[in-house]
Structure 1
Amino acid sequence: MRWTELFDDLEAQLAAQEAAELLGEVAEHTRAATGQVLLRDRLLADLGRRIHLTLRGGEVLDGALSELARDWFVVQEQLPAQGREVLVVTASVVSVRGLSGRSDQGRRSRVQRSLDLRHALRALSRDRAVVRVRDVEGGVTVGTIDRVGADHLDLSAHPDDLPRRSRDVHSVVTIPYAALACVTRS
């Protein structure tokens, strides 16, 4: 009987060791898979969810994630008077609070696959919308986007309570996309 007990004990130790190795492999595969998840995959899984953002330059936004593209997303802020939509450049994000922890790598929206920042800025330019452009240093320029280039935009700066008229434009500011934090319709 001593031999039987010894073999049973050795067999139990071997089974425990194999189980521990398997758990270690599962954990390593999980860490490796998590290492492949992009921020946009996390944001995509949380469309419609309320998030809190801090952007380069100190801008803080709180609202629902409503649209998502390759290098930008839209947050619908809920202000006391009215909500406003803010186009956020993903590269300007310092931190995000409120994500669920889920990711959605398998599903890509049609917008996410096809539209880059230039498409969104061209739409604002085409609408002749008065916008507030916040840069990554915290500066704000108000005006109308006149031109959207490959890596920059030209903004005719004018008072936010006036439409773009030549007489009201006090300067034209060229802003590289790398300096954009967010754009808000006034």
Structure 2
Amino acid sequence: MRWDRFFEDLEDQLDSEWEAERAALDTEAERLRLSRVALRERLVALTREPRALGLHLHDGGVHTGRLVRVGADWCALVGDGPAGAVLVPLWSIGEIAAPVDALLGSVRDAEAGAALGQRMGFGFVLRDLVRRRIPVTLHLVGGRTLDGTIDRAGADHLDIALHEPGAPRRTANVTGYRLVPFGGVLAVRVASASDLA
């Protein structure tokens, strides 16, 4: 009888040790998985979140809205009001404010997303704005803004024709031109969210 109890105790200890080892391995596997999760993948998961979040940029600016698209190195927010949409290059994001359950869900559901989205870089989406002649407001490093229409978007820069917001891009309305490196762009605001569709 004593030996039966002794062996039962040994079996219980062995089961406990195996459970502890399995839990440690699961924890380590999760740490390893998390070490491979990129910001872009978490943003893809946040596009499924219906609530607004805040993108705090390096210059102190904050853009609030629902995350609707994520490209290779940019994301797009749509606000609740008539404010339109904002394209934000990932390099300009300083922090993201979101409800804790959304942040935890973005870790759990992180994924690369559609193959096309993974390939669409910031220059690609700007070239689409060039093609469609959509007026924009560029928010630049240093707090300046430029209103106008992007004429060209190269590999790492853009040309913008400056004109009053809401005015069409006509030669008579253009007040100047600027060449802007992508690294100087913190955000690009378009007047209507449908312009990004």
CA contact (8 A) 1:41 1:105 kept: yes
Measured on the aligned residues, the alpha-carbon RMSD in Å equals 2.1
Give the TM-score, by structure 1 length. 0.86
1:6-85 → structure 2 map (5 Å cutoff): 6-48=6-48, 49=50, 50-79=52-81, 82-85=82-85
Provide the aligned length of Structure 1 versus Structure 2.
183
Cα offset for 1:184?
0.8
For the residues of structure 2 that align with 1:171 and 1:83, how far apart are their CA atoms?
25
- Matched-pair identity in %: 32
Look up the equivalent residue of 2:13 and give its one-letter code. Answer: Q
Cα offset for 1:129?
1.9
Q: Which runs of no fewer than 5 residues in structure 1 stay unpaired?
A: none
**1:137 paired to 2:142:** yes
Q: Which runs of no fewer than 5 residues in structure 2 stay unpaired?
A: 192-197
For the residues of structure 1 that align with 2:24 and 2:110, how far apart are their CA atoms?
25
CA contact (8 A) 1:153 1:175 kept: yes
| 92-101 or 149-158, which deviates more | 92-101
Cα offset for 1:46?
2.7
Secondary structure of the 1:159 match is: coil
CA contact (8 A) 1:55 1:136 kept: no
Look up the equivalent residue of 2:78 and give its one-letter code. Answer: Q
Structure number with higher strand proportion:
1
**Per-residue CA distance 1:103-132 (angstroms, 9 max, x = gap):** 2426x2254133211111111112222210
For the residues of structure 2 that align with 1:89 and 1:6, how far apart are their CA atoms?
65
Change (3 A) 1:83 1:159: closer
Corresponding position of 2:161: 156
Corresponding position of 2:194: none
**Per-residue CA distance 1:81-115 (angstroms, 9 max, x = gap):** x2411111112111222234232426x22541332
Give the TM-score, by structure 2 length. 0.82
Corresponding position of 2:111: 105
Structure number with higher helix proportion:
2
For the residues of structure 1 that align with 2:30 and 2:136, how far apart are their CA atoms?
43
